[in-house]
Amino acid sequence: MYCSKCGVQNDEAAKFCRSCGAPIQVTSPASPPPNQPPSRVDGPGVFGAVVGFILAIVLGCLSGLLISFCVSLVVRDNGGVTVAAWLVGWVVSVWLMARGARSASRVISRASLIGATEWLLSIPFVAIASVNAANQTTQTDGMASLAAGLGVTLYAILAFAMVLVCLVCWVISHNIGRELRPERRLA
């Protein structure tokens, strides 16, 4: 059932519009009123879900790359294991981002949180790889240990900066998603 005042679709049993609060008059449920607002790219609906799913595929690919980078640092066989890690990371990330999301802002919110988590979890992988690289050099070479420590420190700074970027993106996309949702009026 559609509201005759603002054009928002409501439940069949609703007595008042969930968007504007106007009383709902029984009209033809088959067609929306002529003054229904145009659909938005980010709003709920088929188009918003398709855009969100495409974003999930692209951002999931980036997520898979970060996961395969971490795996390649620890595992010496850089062939099939790294590709498998990328593929699994991509599929799981797409599933986590797109699952039940009806808008692009929801997908970006989820991708931002996944990205922040992955950047934080990548720091131990870099530390392990640096320690392994320092141990493979001569035991008396203090410069290798210093370089490994400096590399881990610089990567940790980069990772924390990326976590902050991801969290800022989450705040922005979360607030955009809240702005685009219709207001609910308490009866």
Interval 145-159 mean pLDDT: 81
**Residues paired with 9 in a beta bridge:** 2
User: Does residue 13 contact residue 40 with C-beta atoms inside 8 Å?
Assistant: no
**Against a cut of 0.75, is the pTM above it?**
no
CA atoms within 13 A on the CB side of 126: 22
Distance CA 128, CA 131 (A): 5
Supply φ then ψ for residue 169, to 5 degrees: -60, -40
pLDDT per residue as tens digits for the range 46-101: 777 788 889 999 999 999 999 888 888 878 766 788 888 889 999 999 999 988 77
For residue 38, give the 3-state DSSP assignment: coil
34-47 pLDDT, tens per residue? Answer: 555 544 444 456 77
Residue 126, SS3 per DSSP: helix
